[in-house]
Amino acid sequence: MCGILAVLGCVDNSQAKRSRIIELSRRLRHRGPDWSGLHCYEDCYLAHERLAIVDPTSGDQPLYNEDKTIVVTVNGEIYNHKALRENLKSHQFRTGSDCEVIAHLYEEHGEEFVNMLDGMFAFVLLDTRDKSFIAARDAIGITPLYIGWGLDGSVWFASEMKALSDDCEQFMCFPPGHIYSSKQGGLRRWYNPTWFSELVPSTPYDPLAVRNTFEKAVIKRLMTDVPFGVLLSGGLDSSLVASVALRHLEKSEAACQWGSKLHTFCIGLKGSPDLKAGREVADYLGTRHHELHFTVQDGIDAIEEVIYHVETYDVTTIRASTPMFLMSRKIKSLGVKMVLSGEGSDEIFGGYLYFHKAPNKKEFHEETCRKIKALHQYDCLRANKSTSAWGVEARVPFLDKEFIDVAMSIDPEWKMIRPDLGRIEKWVLRNAFDDEKNPYLPKHILYRQKEQFSDGVGYSWIDGLKDHANKHVTDTMLMNASFVFPDNTPVTKEAYYYRTIFEKFFPKSAARATVPGGPSVACSTAKAVEWDAAWSQNLDPSGRAALGVHVAAYEEDKTEDPRPEKLQKLADKTAAFV
């Protein structure tokens, strides 16, 4: 990932203003430590902090068309850039960067080209011929982007809030799948898939279609000129990413440069479920596995830094971001700059444990749609900013546009959890990769129960966070929370603790409005809390809050790691279903 900052229509275009833009862009340098670039045109500034993944030698930004009348600063990866270049034969390309194609597509097609891009991206493009500009963000919001407005009428765009919050009167999260046009005066949606309407689909389940489109999604994301790896927790999603990547690595261009030995990474407290499961999968696949450890105190010491980088006070995001933040630092120290990760599968297939209580397929499907639409505020934000804090790029094949189209067109009756039919959560995905002749994973791993990242690194991690918050937030403080924080009022001491840290870094009301709120159980939306009356009494984002579903639910067992025997029983049962 890179960092971008664009300021358009400043009243002040003095040297002091240029210095200020450079200073603000420097706040994003953790995202792109490899090079910095700045293009100034009259009262417009486009800045870039580069993390070089594709074409490290010549792909510095901003990027231009042939006569440099079109300037673009991009954060992202365009996986189909070679195919797009084939249709731009009359254009001259200056670099091998996958992002240069954006300037030429605009030159050829005007503003209506964004849907041609297959990738993750946020960009700002300036057309100096008429001083118009556009900004756009990828379909799901994998890549972060914020938009702000200055008192002088200027419009600002930045990869992270910290680069514009001090200088903008108002700002907000740039919505995924949208484009901002100075010519047309505002935001409009460019991404309009069928599933967005939330109407219940009726396409029969085709396991080969699911498998093939996912394999294609992983193969696309092997596009790299630098060392890479896979984040492997040992759960279904990360294990499938690793398995598919390994199958196709040898034939990829990446293997020509870095060899066909796949590196995998896992983090956890000593003895945690993820470390054990990750090692088991790595041994089965034969990867070069890196097992990283942290202590509860390591995590607590990092909380302030995590909140500064991830820019949220959402409890579940901070719980999961902290181990990912620590892991990314160690990954970068090993010389790795890009990782594949398993985000998005639970939203698409209803993998969270609370989906067991979905009353019917209509509500099941509508909840998956709501979850995907909100990903940019939760898991995408976590995966991107936790890794980018240390100059590492995370790619998420489950959020491939084509794969989402296939998966979200399936009749949700197939996704429903049906123990009577042997279907646990994400059965349609598990079944698609259940290949007897050439297995992707062992059966008991393929049918292992969902474990949220913040739980899987070790149950005592969450318990330790709660204990720490209890020491710093008194009963009186929590009682008066609605007066101190009238917007998105924290309802637990842990939430109050995170909120105070967030407010220290981002004190403006616009900043706190970028973070979603509302009741949640086991990562549900507020609407899904209505599925079970008991949940309203146990509002916690941990998977253990899914009472009666999780094999280590809070009410059943509170020991540090109660699961090995229970998990084995579950694996045995689910293996018997297939």
Q: What is the pLDDT of residues 382-433, one digit of tens each?
A: 999 999 999 999 999 999 999 999 999 999 999 999 999 999 999 999 999 9
Q: How confident is the model at residue 375 (pLDDT cuts 50, 70, 90)?
A: very high
Query: What pLDDT sits at residue 58?
Result: 81
Token pair for residue 62?
A: 């901003």
Secondary structure of residue 128 in the 3-state scheme: coil
Binding site members for ATP: 231, 267, 341-342
What DSSP line would sit under 287-338, residue for residue?
Answer: -EEEEEE--HHHHHHHHHHHHHHH----HHHHHHHHHHHHHHHHHHHTT--E
Judged against a pLDDT cut of 80, whether residue 517 lies above it is answered with yes
Residue 546, pLDDT score: 56
The string of pLDDT tens digits covering residues 196-223 is 999 999 999 999 999 999 999 999 999 9
Residue that wins the pLDDT comparison between 324 and 569: 324
User: Averaged over 473-501, what is the pLDDT?
Assistant: 97
Which pTM was predicted? Answer: 0.92
Q: In what order do the strands lie in the sheet with 288-293?
A: 288-293, 263-268, 228-231, 338-340, 393-395
Res. 256: pLDDT tops 90: no
Q: Rounded to whole angstroms, how far apart are CA atoms 276 and 257?
A: 31
Under 8 Å between Cβ of 33 and 226: no
Residue type (1 letter), 378: Y
pLDDT digit string (tens) for 28-63? Answer: 999 999 999 999 999 999 999 999 998 888 878 999
Length of the chain in terms of residues written: 578
Peptide bond into 62 cis (omega under 30): yes
Within 10 angstroms of residue 257's Cβ, the number of other Cβ atoms is: 11
> Is the pLDDT confidence value at 537 over 80?
no
Binding-site residues, in ranges, read 98, 231, 267, 341-342
277-307 residue pLDDT tens = 999 999 999 999 999 999 999 999 999 999 9
Residue 557 pLDDT class (50, 70, 90 cuts): very low
Pick from 146, 137, 129: nearest CA to 44: 129
- At residue 169, what is the residue type? E
98-112, 350-364, 535-549: segment of lowest average pLDDT: 535-549
Q: Pull the structure tokens for residue 477.
A: 């403080």
Instruction: Report the number of secondary-structure helices (H) and strands (E) in the chain.
Output: 22, 17
Q: Tell the residue number behind the tokens 């979905």, with chain if given.
A: 358
Residue-level pLDDT at 90: 93
Contact 499, 304 (CB under 8 A): no
First to last CA, the chain: 41
Query: What DSSP line would sit under 345-366, residue for residue?
Result: HHHHHT-SGGGGG--SHHHHHH
Report the C-alpha gap between 215 and 432 in whole angstroms.
11
Question: For residues 100 and 134, is the Cβ–Cβ distance under 8 A?
Answer: no
Rounded to whole angstroms, the Cα distance separating 47 from 37 reads 6
Q: In this model, does residue 564 exceed pLDDT 90?
A: no
Catalytic residue IDs:
2
Kindly report the average pLDDT of the chain as a whole number.
91
Q: Dig out the tokens for 20 from the structure.
A: 């200020």
Q: What per-residue confidence (pLDDT) applies to 451?
A: 63
pLDDT value of position 492: 95
pLDDT above 90: percentage of residues in the chain: 81
80-100 tens-digit pLDDT: 999 999 999 999 999 999 999
Output the pLDDT for position 258.
75
8 A C-beta contact, residue 98 and residue 170 = no
Strands (E), 335-481: 338-340, 393-395
Tokens of 302: 């990092």
What pLDDT does residue 396 have?
98
